[in-house]
A and B are shown apart, each in its own frame.
Chain A
Amino acid sequence: MAVPVSQMWTVATYVLKKRFAGEKRYPLVLMLEPLFRCNLACAGCGKVQYPPHVLKRMLTPEECFKAVEECGAPMVSIPGGEPLLHSKIVEIVNGLVARKKYVYLCTNALELKRRLPEFTPSKYLTFSVHLDGQREHHDFSVCREGGYDLAVEGIKEAVKRGFRVTTNATFFDGTDPNSVRAFFDDVMDMGVEGIVLSPGYSYEKAPDQNRFLGRARVRRLFRAILSNRKKTWKFNMSPLFLEFLMGDRKYECTPWGSPAYNIFGWQRPCYLLQDGYAETFKELMETTRWEEYGVASGNPKCANCMVSCGYEPTAVMDGFGSLRGFWAMIRGTFSTYRDEHAMRLLNEPAPRGPAPLVQIEEPAPALEESNV
């Protein structure tokens, strides 16, 4: 089990309290974006394309704390931009830890090793390091040779210093499931607590508009990746969300489950879509027309989204919301998801995106043996 019991207990009691209070819509994770500036220029990212005067703006620690208190979610994810470029990120993290929030600082880790001495290990603080696959795949995905090696140095140093560390991967079309499975072996060997993963979202503003996975391909890819799991792999995610990615569960999006706050305000309706901003969390919750979002709404911007920020809250609320859900979560935590069909998927030729990753040698297709 990758998530510590204390964190699971905090989330479980939070969900149960909300259910008993009769609240239908409540947040689980605040996506706190203190800045949009980044030190990478990834082709799959639609988050950071702004004029310089916008990229220079940052939330103050006080604005961050106010947002966290307004929202009340037990977990805070700090993406961006690159949070380690924020001049007061240590003060922000310390303030959140003091408030007993479980903080996931999402970083590309280019600066992690250098900045680590400024942070204090805590059960409330996790460095969630962006790694999209093995060295060549990651470097090509983030458009920076050497990015993987720097990130791994940061991970190893953080683990050595006693920090909680997870890796965070986003997958696009052309992903080779065998390579991803080998990547899981690599990161578990680094001593991380667990793996976080998600299919990419089709950002309108992303430079590359040709590699966003449709739902059918997402399910096939994740069935191949996540079936026949090795017991050494740990996932810092709800097992029910992983079953959703594999096509075993049908869920609707819970956009208010991971509300996003940034320099513009409270983002409607979710972390991924920018349909306007509210000044307060209350205004966001009460005035957003939630029925206009999610697959069932027919909104084309939501049609193919299976991203964790919308669907993991659904899975968590399902898991802690009923005995049946809780049992499924327990079963999923310890299952290896043995599946012969998925094993055969691993033997298919490695997929190719619209532009071949020419620097990567074609791996010889071979059935992978898992140690189930």
Chain B
Amino acid sequence: MTAEVQRYSLDQIEALELVPGSEHEKLEGWVPDVANEAELRDVLEKAFSYRGDVTITLKNGERVEAYVFNRHTGATLAESWVQYFAPNVPGKCKVSYTEIARLEFTGKDRAAGKHWEDWVKAYNERKAAGEKNIGLEPEALE
């Protein structure tokens, strides 16, 4: 059970006015040391919740660019795996924890760097400049 759970009782939860937001972990560009099983498990858990591509180096030397969307953690590394999508590969791919030598957070973190306050500031500035049809655009897919 996490520290977050222990911080509130059910009564406190019911009385809460505002939900404390999540702290965004800055992982983009991180190249973690994976020296043992516990570190590998921890890094793959972070890759699972990362909203960007990672680069997986397999023990056979192959490097795979991957968006990790699922993981299964078994009692041993052999029973544990991640599932991912790779650019230009149509279906889902799967790799065992035992085959993974190294992992790098190489892709852009798509959940980072956008804040409500930024939108409010940009809106005010653009409005003051006389701009019309102000809005945020989704990022281009190419």
- Say yes or no for B53: interface residue by CB 8 A criterion: yes
Question: Assuming the A-B contacts A53-B87, A277-B69, are A304 and B141 also in contact, with contact meaning beta carbons closer than 8 angstroms in the complex?
Answer: no
CB-based contact A145/B133 at 8 Å: yes
- Say yes or no for B111: interface residue by CB 8 A criterion: yes
* A residues near B88, Cβ cutoff 8 Å: 53
Question: Assuming the A-B contacts A53-B87, A202-B21, A277-B83, are A43 and B116 also in contact, with contact meaning beta carbons closer than 8 angstroms in the complex?
Answer: yes
CB-based contact B108/A41 at 8 Å: no
Question: Assuming the A-B contacts A216-B15, A355-B120, are A46 and B136 also in contact, with contact meaning beta carbons closer than 8 angstroms in the complex?
Answer: no
- Tally the A-B contacts, defined by beta carbons under 8 Å: 148
Query: Could you give, for residues 88-132 of chain B, a 1 whenever the CB lies within 8 Å of some chain A CB and a 0 otherwise?
Result: 100010000000000000011011001111011001100100001
Among A41, A354, A359, contact of B137 (Cβ-Cβ < 8 Å) = A41
- Say yes or no for A22: interface residue by CB 8 A criterion: no
SS class, residues of chain A in contact with chain B = loop
Closest-CB distance, A55 to chain B (whole angstroms):
6
* A residues near B8, Cβ cutoff 8 Å: 300, 303
Query: Could you give, for residues 97-137 of chain A, a 1 whenever the CB lies within 8 Å of some chain B CB and a 0 otherwise?
Result: 00000000000000000000000000000000000000000
CB-based contact A204/B22 at 8 Å: yes
Query: Could you give, for residues 1-29 of chain B, a 1 whenever the CB lies within 8 Å of some chain A CB and a 0 otherwise?
Result: 11011001010011111110110100000
Query: Could you give, for residues 256-282 of chain A, a 1 whenever the CB lies within 8 Å of some chain B CB and a 0 otherwise?
Result: 000000011100000000101100000
* B residues near A274, Cβ cutoff 8 Å: 49
- Say yes or no for A345: interface residue by CB 8 A criterion: no
CB-based contact A54/B85 at 8 Å: yes
- Say yes or no for A2: interface residue by CB 8 A criterion: no
CB-based contact A215/B15 at 8 Å: yes
Closest-CB distance, B63 to chain A (whole angstroms):
16
CB-based contact A264/B70 at 8 Å: yes
* A residues near B119, Cβ cutoff 8 Å: 43, 143
CB-based contact B116/A208 at 8 Å: yes
CB-based contact B133/A37 at 8 Å: no
